[in-house]
Amino acid sequence: MTRDPARSPADEPAADPPTVGRGGRRRDQAVALGWLVAAWLLLWGDVSWANLLTGLVVGAAVLFFFPLPPVTFGGRLRPGPLLVLAGTFAGELVSASVHVAAVALRPGYRPRGGIIAVPLRVRTDLNLALTAEVISLVPGTLILDIDRARGVLYVHVLDVRGPEDLAGSRDRVLAVERRIVRAVGSPTEVRQLDLEPVERRNHP
Amino acid sequence: MTAVGVVADWVGGLLLLAGALLSLVAGIGLVRFPDTLDRMHAATKPQVLGVLLLLVGLALRLRTGADLGMLALVAIFQLSTAPVAAQMIGRAAYRSGRIDRSLLDVDELAGR
């Protein structure tokens, strides 16, 4: 393959990036600075003016020297679905650990795997990133690559015994996406979950 | 020491033990799994839950505000960085061809 490994489809900008004005960018940076200062204070374990000031300086320096592509938050937080997301995630993290432990400890067993492409319905950077993070911690699935422009996650599936395991993993990824969008997505994105037909998603 | 403190110490101790066992299982998985991609499963799921249980166990034994803040930070960073690290290693292994294709039933990433 002659492709430059440093550049992949995932590195190219999304097809329809959300429009971020100068004010929105400022707001995103202010939110990021707030989180950095909070992390700094937690690291010191003590809220004082000196810690607050050094936190502001360090946070501003981090944002200045390590600028990130803007990930703007256009949705809204919904407490109920957030609880569902957190509760389901905790349960699935436990069953995922038990599953991996069982596979790891079974004598003489060589698990088979598979790599599936799962197109997501909501293609914002935030949803792609959150879904990719969560599916690596639920049973069977692990994020391997991301096609950012087309909104496709490439997922490795552990312990494949038949086609039904691959289909099940595909459904699981889409279920994770649904829970995330319901918890933090905008109303438009929540509607998007039901609008796009399955056929189009599987053959983009 | 109050009765609540004794219970918290015992539950904390049990959680420390459970977290240590899960971390051990994650290590066994890393050694025994046949392929890099399988190994990354062991490096994420039982490893992350193991660390989280250790942190909760520690929180139940330490029970001071400053320590709880630090433990919460470790938990957040662990949850957000472990999948990213596993993805980076898995992707590097895939792109450099260091995976065992005979173990894959399907590969929808091939040719992309």
Q: Is residue A117 domain-shared with residue A38, that is, in the same domain?
A: no
Provide the 8-state DSSP code for B65.
H
Give me the average pLDDT of each 10-residue run along chain A (204 residues): 42 47 77 92 89 95 87 84 96 96 93 94 91 94 94 94 93 95 92 69 48
In this prediction, residue B44 carries a pLDDT of 94
In a domain? residue A168: yes
Element of type H or E holding B105: strand B104-107
pLDDT score of B65: 83
**Residues in B touching A110 (Cβ below 8 Å):** 34, 103
Half-sphere exposure of A147 (CA within 13 A, CB side): 15
pLDDT at A195: 76
- CA-nearest residue to A159 within chain B is B38
Encoded amino acid at A87, one letter: G
Task: Write the DSSP string, A156-168.
Answer: EEES--SHHHHHH
Q: Between chains, do B73 and A39 touch, taking CB under 8 Å as contact?
A: yes
Cα–Cα dist A90/A142, whole Å: 17
- Do residues A96 and A193 both lie within one domain? yes
Most B CBs within 10 Å, among A109, A144, A161, to test the B interface = A144
Residues A188 and A97 in one domain: yes
Please give the pLDDT value at position B18.
Answer: 96
Secondary structure (DSSP) of chain A? ----TT--GGGSPPSSPPP--HHHHHHHHHHHHHHHHHHHHHHHT---HHHHHHHHHHHHHHHHHS--------S---HHHHHHHHHHHHHHHHHHHHHHHHHHHSTT----EEEEEEE-S---HHHHHHHHHHHTTSTTEEEEEEETTTTEEEEEEES--SHHHHHHHHHHHHHHHHHHHHHH--HHHHHHHHHS-HHHHH--
CA-CA distance, B37 to B87, in Å (whole number)? Answer: 9
Nearest to A96 among B45, B94, B107 (CB): B45
Same domain as A106, residue A57: no
Among A116, A158, A166, the residue with its CB nearest the CB of B38 is A158
| pLDDT on residue A75 | 81
Whether pLDDT at B1 is above 80: no
Of the residues A37, A65, A93, the one at which a domain ends: A65
pLDDT in the model for residue A197: 55
| Residues A148 and A190 reside in one and the same domain | yes
Q: Which two tokens stand for residue A43?
A: 């690291």
Please state, for a pLDDT cut of 90, what percent of chain B lies above it.
78
Domain assignment present for A134: yes
- Give the tens place of pLDDT for each residue, B31-81: 999 999 999 999 999 999 999 999 999 999 998 888 898 899 999 999 999
Identify whether residues A59 and A95 lie together within a single domain: no
Q: Which of A9, A34, A65 is a domain's end point?
A: A65
Mutation target among B38, B71, B81 for the A interface, most CBs of A within 10 A = B38
Residues A89 and A165 in one domain: yes
Cβ contact A27:A13 at 8 Å: no
Residues A185 and A94 in one domain: yes
Q: What angle do CA B31, A164, A177 make, to 5 degrees?
A: 80
Domain co-membership, A109 together with A160: yes
**A10 in a structural domain:** no
Q: How many domains does chain A have?
A: 2
Please name the residues between 11 and 70 in chain B that touch chain A, using a CB distance below 8 Å.
22, 25-26, 28-29, 32-35, 37-38, 40-42, 44-46, 48-50, 52, 65-67, 69-70
In a domain, A8, yes or no: no
- The interface pTM score, or ipTM, of the predicted complex is 0.91
Cβ–Cβ under 8 Å, residues A166 and A157: yes
A72 in a structural domain: no
Domain coverage including residue A88: 79-202
B99: helix, coil or strand? coil
If asked whether residues A98 and A187 sit together in one domain, one would say yes
User: Is residue A90 domain-shared with residue A189, that is, in the same domain?
Assistant: yes
- Identify whether A2 is part of a domain: no
A127 and A88, same domain (yes or no): yes
